[in-house]
Amino acid sequence: MGEMWEVVAAQGSHNDDADRAMHWGIFDGANTAALNIGESTAPGVDHFLQSCGPFPGHFILTNTIYIRLMAYGLGGAKVITLIALVYKLRGLPVEE
């Protein structure tokens, strides 16, 4: 499994000129599992990972599992901004 990280909080927004559907997902390198359905989000409004479903506690990620924030239909030169508080976990070695 290798290194592990704890995602304490994450939020994202976009700067497009109109509302866009945004959603969070977990990606394993080949497949994405959606954590919520696409929610219409206005420009500059934060979309919080912890508010997208009944997920108690924090997310624990490995070097092969990623969190994705996706937005659909963004115009040219428009971006998604993602901010997260993440801690690298330490402790006993994890067997490969």
Per-residue pLDDT tens for 34-75?
Answer: 888 788 899 999 988 877 666 656 788 888 888 888 888 888
Q: Give the CA distances from residue 57 to residues 4, 30, 51, 53, in Å, rounded to whole numbers and listed in that order.
A: 16, 26, 12, 12
The pLDDT assigned to 59 comes to 82
pLDDT at 33 over 80: yes
Q: How far apart are CA 73 and CA 50, in angstroms?
A: 24
Per-residue pLDDT tens for 84-96?
Answer: 998 888 765 655 5
Query: Torsion angle, CA of 54/10/73/77, rounded to 10 degrees?
Result: 180
